[in-house]
Structure 1
Amino acid sequence: MVAAAIGVLATSDTRLAWFVSIGVLALSFFLSTPMLIVAMAVPATLVLTRVGGFVSVSDVILAVATIAAVVLVRPKGMSAMRPFCWAGIAYLVAALPTLILNPYQENTVEWVHEFVLVIGSLLVGFTIARTGKSSYAIGAYVLGCLGIAVAAIATAAVAFAIHHELEPVYLPELHKNLIGGMLATAFVIVHGRPAWFAIPRNLSYFTLVVLAGGIFASQSRQSMLGLLAGLLIVGLRRRAASRRRPLLGILLTIPVLGYSISMLSSQLASDNQFNSAYQRLDWFEESLNIWHESPAFGVGLRWWYTDRFAARFQPPNAELEVLSSVGIVGLIGFLLMFALVIWYLWRLDPTYGTVGAAVVVARFVQAQFDLYWVAGQASLLWIVAGVCVGAFVHDRSGLEQPDSSRQLSVNYVRTVT
């Protein structure tokens, strides 16, 4: 019947028939293998092509994956996710007053967008790991990052051969800081080798080398600092979590900080008042001026997409972006969200939660010098947090009586339930 209807439609409007055919195919695929759609949300965070000018491909796939996750997730074990969801809701509720005080379309749409980026990502990550698919989903993400790293290295090598100097790498649809942030997250995960991501040791070494080359090629100082923070979290945690490589983050501290400080000093000493360092200082000042328009509740989400202010930039700092958008009240909720999630991941069994905490911290540190609410990058950290909890619940559900090595996990569940 459906095929007949499409055939009739094709005789009058071929283009519409194509869209209907693709829609039916997508619906059939979704109904037959919904878990695959959920798992695809992880590598899809690498696809930032815009759809309709406001959301990206990764946003669309995440929204569909969230709906599928709600259908597929089992109530058993969801109590462990409760504190994480409440942490996200704390921020979203704190951001509600700005919707009332600043009624415009971009404001409302962005609030819904952030709801999916946080709560939807947590549910997606939990569902992936709860069904035992975390290695496949995270593996697909790492594989995609390897491809980006190779492309970045090749681009940097060609540029060096032509200009005889290292230049930041820009790939189609990918800014250097996006490249660095994506690869840094993959590096932290592969380095930590958590219980929910099985990767052979020798393969992990090769992967780390390629990812490190891609990060260096990107020349993204923000990502390097975020990576350093993530590696320090892994390195300072238990030996069981760091897999006997506790010193890597500490050893990288001096060269990474030295390189970043050297580049910053060079830019500030330059006569070029339009380099990235001076530009950020100007944006910081303008962001504070806009925040002064409404200190308590902010001027609205995505205010830079409107004509309400002369400034048309997204603040390159997480706190200033949140402060100008949702005010002091929203900023308190935002910081509380991060603090609670990191705290609960820290209390989780280290073999599950350490890398999750490291990824969240790494993204937060990078966002001190870069954009935070970026499609894909703003969802991946919460997906990983959900994966940590889902993997723990999945593995523990197969144990009738947890042994002594699982005691910390048991204590965590008792705490959150």
Structure 2
Amino acid sequence: MTAAQLREIVVRLALVVGLLGVLLFVGRGLARDPELPLLLAGLILFLGLVVADPALVPLVALPLLLVTARISLAGVDLAVSDALLAVALLPSLLVLLGGTSRAMRQVMWLGALYQVATLFTLVRNPYQANLVEWFHAGVLVLGAVTVGWALGRRGHGGRSLRILALTTLALALITLGEAFAQYRAGDFAPVEMSWPYQVQKNAIGTVFALVGVVLYVRPTWLGWSRGWSLTAFWTLVAALLTTQSRQGVIALAVAVGVLVMRRTTTRRRSKGILLALLPALVGVSVMVQDQVRSGNEFNSFFQRLAWFEESIRIWGTDPWFGVGLRWWYTDRFAEAFQPPNGFMDTLTSGGIIGLVAFIALLAGTWLVARRLDPTFGVLAELVLLARIVQSQFDLFWVAVQVSLPFLILGLCLGAAAHQEADADETARLRSQLEQAQQSGFSGRPAPAAGAAG
């Protein structure tokens, strides 16, 4: 037995003894104080996954990144998706520190630019919600991209897309089930998923729209057939329509329309999909016209107009630096509302400086996605486009509605870098093999003189 084999046996025995000790501690501790041993067991599992592959923790957490239920941690109220995103970010940083592509660095610089630009409003408006939201926004953008990058770079890109699609498909089936029960009772109001947790219609509608874009683009690395992808896509569309999320419908229609009309894609698309989506857009137009004609100043249309007018007034109190992130959590103004428009929200919060950086973030990341290999870039580009369009009619800085498109962007960047690295490695091995073969041929000894033929 060699020394290396002996060391391997000793290490394995030590691991077995250590695990048995941990199991004994957890088992005995559960009877007295269940919290500490369970916490220790969870920490060991977490560290084990990180050691095996830093991307396994984000992969396991991926379904929960769509959960919008609220929890309270250390006195801070946040969504489950935000908490799990922070957990998934820790091991993802290890992959990020291992090296990034040029496109990934560009996205990170754009996110950092926005964070620096909003530091001005952080200093000018010192209150807790402002500070918390500054870190929160950084995690939603930079953190989500980093988690996506780790998954894609470690070769889990297709698997991650499938997990997101299946999780969203499950939410869509639950929504359709609730819609059936609600319609059967004669109630045709917008459907809001209430089990296993309550989700507002525009929040779940945005998720359906974004993942619907993924399914319709159907990149080759998703690994699903055309029939299965279209079945899942139309299921999400049906669930989206039951929510009556007009913003989600418009975002999905714009993204699909751009995909169908553009030339630089990985496959040809039938323009017949536009005829299928046209009735949905007509329905949205009819609903808006009905609200306008109703004259009800408290419906969503007139309420948005009132909020836009009030947002301009609030922004005017500090045009350059804004009045602070999450200013509606304070009592500084008579009205407490989050502006239902991404640009208006950022303008009031971060002023002109923050808005310029916000536009640079959105436009810059879209351009980065557009310059990628279409195998990966088309999906990233259209998901970002859908989110930008949707946020013109609704809230922008809201949990999963921000993190999901940037997570998918990171997935595309990481998957592209993974494919490029594989291609480089294959080329390197092929070059080494060719060099070895050439050396073998040229270095073959010549036969001795007079040797038998």
Where do 1:15-414 residues align within 5 Å?
15-52=35-72, 53-73=76-96, 75-163=98-186, 165=188, 167-171=190-194, 172-238=197-263, 240-241=265-266, 243-248=267-272, 250-252=274-276, 254-400=278-424
Question: CA shift at 1:73, angstroms?
Answer: 3.6
Shift of the 12–39 alpha-carbon distance from structure 1 to 2, 3 Å rule, reads: closer
How much identity, in percent, do the aligned residues show? 37
CA change 1:249–1:301 in 2 (3 A) is farther
Mean alpha-carbon deviation: is it higher for 385-394 or for 162-171?
A: 162-171
Q: Which amino acid aligns with 1:187?
A: G
CA contact (8 A) 1:45 1:375 kept: no
> Given that residues 296 and 329 in structure 1 are in contact (C-alpha distance below 8 angstroms), is that contact kept between their aligned partners in structure 2?
yes
Deviations 1:111-142 (A, max 9, x none): 11111111111121122111110111111111
Residue 310 of structure 1 deviates from its aligned partner by: 2.9
Shift of 1:80: 2.9
**Higher-Rg member (1/2):** 2
Deviation at 1:320, TM superposition (A): 1.1
CA 379–354 in structure 1, closer or farther in 2 if over 3 Å, else same? same
Partner SS, residue 399 of structure 1: helix
8 Å Cα contact 2:145-2:407 kept in structure 1 = yes
Against the structure 1 CA distance between its residues 135 and 14, is the aligned structure 2 distance closer, same or farther, given a 3 Å change threshold?
A: closer
In the aligned structure 2, how far is the partner of 1:397 from the partner of 1:29?
Answer: 24
Q: Which moved more, 1:149-158 or 1:302-311?
A: 302-311
Structure 2: 5+ residue runs without aligned partners?
1-20, 428-453
Query: Partners in 1 of 2:211 and 2:393 — Cα distance?
Result: 20
Q: Which amino acid aligns with 1:226?
A: A
Q: What is the match of residue 411 of structure 1?
A: none
- 2:103–2:368: 8 Å Cα contact kept in structure 1? no
User: Could you tell me how far 1:54 is from its partner in structure 2?
Assistant: 2.3
TM-score, scaled relative to structure 1: 0.89
**Offset, 1:237:** 2.6
Which moves more between the two structures, 232-241 or 44-53?
232-241
* Other structure's SS at 1:128 match: helix
Call closer, same or farther: CA 1:215–1:8 in 2, change over 3 Å: closer
Q: Using the alignment, how far apart are the partners of 1:164 and 1:49 within structure 2?
A: 25
- Could you tell me how far 1:296 is from its partner in structure 2? 0.7
Matches of 1:238 and 1:79, distance apart in 2: 25
Q: For this pair of structures, how many residues does the alignment match?
A: 402
Please say which of residues 22-31 and 140-149 is displaced more in the overlay: 22-31
For 2:64 and 2:365, the matched residues in 1 are separated by 23
Q: 1:41 touches 1:58 (CA, 8 Å); kept in 2?
A: no
Matched residue type, 2:112: I
Deviation at 1:202, TM superposition (A): 1.5
CA deviation profile, 1:128-187 (whole Å, cap 9, x unmatched): 111110111111111011111111111112111111635433433311111111111111
SS at match of 1:114: helix
Q: State the AA in 2 paired with 1:270.
A: S
TM-score by length of 2: 0.82
Does the residue aligned with 2:332 lie in a helix, a strand or coil?
coil
Other structure's SS at 1:163 match: coil
Change (3 A) 1:307 1:17: farther
Q: Which moved more, 1:33-42 or 1:329-338?
A: 33-42
User: Any conservation in 2 of the 1:135–1:196 contact (CA below 8 Å)?
Assistant: yes
CA contact 2:264–2:374 (8 Å) conserved in 1: no
* Residues 259 and 402 of structure 1, relative CA distance in 2, 3 Å threshold: farther
Q: Write out per-residue CA displacement over residues 220-275 of structure 1, whole angstroms, 9 at most, x where no aligned residue.
A: 1000011112112322233643x322525643564333222211110111143221
- Counterparts in 2 of 1:164 and 1:102: CA distance versus 1, 3 Å: closer
Tell me if structure 2 keeps the 8 A contact 1:181–1:377: yes
> Once the two structures are superposed, what CA deviation does each residue of 1:21-52 show, in whole Å capped at 9, x if it has no partner?
44444444444453221224543331112221
Q: Secondary structure at the match of 1:55?
A: strand
Q: Which has the higher contact order (CA 8 A, sep 6+)?
A: 1
Deviation at 1:215, TM superposition (A): 0.9
Checking the alignment, whether the CA contact within 8 Å between 1:42 and 1:138 is kept in structure 2 is: no
**Separation of aligned partners in 1, 2:400 and 2:188:** 31
| Structure 1 residues 7 and 141: CA distance shift in structure 2, 3 A | closer
Q: What is the alpha-carbon distance in structure 1 between the residues aligned to residue 424 and residue 45 of structure 2?
A: 42
Aligned to 1:310, the other structure's residue is in SS state: coil
Does the CA-based 8 Å contact 1:231-1:248 persist in structure 2?
A: no
Structure 1 residues not aligned, in runs of 5+: 404-417
- Preserved contact between residue 238 and residue 350 of structure 1 (Cα < 8 Å): no
